[in-house]
Amino acid sequence: MSFITRGFEGRRRSREPSGRIPPGQYATLDFPVLSAGPTPRISREEWRLTLADTTGAERSWSWEEFTALPVTDITVDIHCVTKWTKLDTTWGGVTLEDLLAGVELGEATVVLAHSYDGYTTNVPLADLSGGRAMVAHTYAGEPLEPEHGGPARLLVPHLYFWKSAKWVNRLEMLTHDRPGFWESYGYHNYGDPWREQRYSGD
């Protein structure tokens, strides 16, 4: 009799189909919290989301106005540059398409997202179209927790997760690209996990 050791792996690996895990990533069931600083506590009463177009004109939503906008639910995989991937996360929020409806985009090509903690990140406007991005206020059917960006965060799941600004409060339309926080510290300007664009030069 022999012990069958075929298939033994010293390290437990994900049984997920490898086609869903971008290069260099591993799947996790945890939801790690990654923030550059302390979690800002923003009450729904004081919360506002402001959108500034390229002319400098602004429009803003209170929590009540924002949550009255049409809600879209999505299930997506998220990929952090620190190498964890979390499959099948479910979110509810307002797609950028719904948010930008009626906004004069002019020559804008990029959105610079600003957050309550001072964080910024830049995302091409094209990547926010087609229902691929939202300002999310719900995670797994519950109000988004402060640690994960609540009351609301940007969610751009097809790019590395640093592009998904937590505690977002301002979306600035730009005609010329400008790096955000991590982008100016050497992270890739675009951040496609499938092309492993972790750092500038990748």
Q: Does 80 bind ligand MTE (CB under 6 A)?
A: yes
Residue nearest to Mo ion (CB): 162
Nearer to ligand MTE, 32 or 70 (CB): 32
Q: Find which of Mo ion, ligand MTE, none residue 115 binds, CB within 5 to 8 Å per kind.
A: ligand MTE
* CB atoms closer than 10 angstroms to residue 167: 25
Cα 152 from Cα 168, distance rounded (Å): 6
Quote the tokens at residue 29.
């069931």
Question: Alpha-carbon distance 11 to 18, whole Å?
Answer: 16
- Helix and strand numbers, DSSP H then E, in the chain: 3, 11
Nearer to Mo ion, 71 or 80 (CB): 80
99 DSSP assignment = H
Q: Interface with ligand MTE includes 84 (CB under 6 A)?
A: no
CB of 82 vs Mo ion, minimal distance in Å: 6
Counted residue by residue, the chain has a size of: 202
Position 148 contacts ligand MTE (CB under 6 A): yes
- Give the nearer residue to ligand MTE in terms of CB position, either 66 or 119: 119
Alpha-carbon distance 175 to 173, whole Å?
7
Q: What are phi and psi of 182, to 5 degrees?
A: -70, -30
Among 13, 20, 32, 73, binds ligand MTE (CB under 6 A): 32
Out of Mo ion, ligand MTE, none, what residue 135 binds, judged by CB under 5 to 8 A for its kind, is none
* Contacts with ligand MTE, residue ranges (CB under 6 A): 32-36, 80, 115, 117, 119, 148-149, 161-162, 164-167
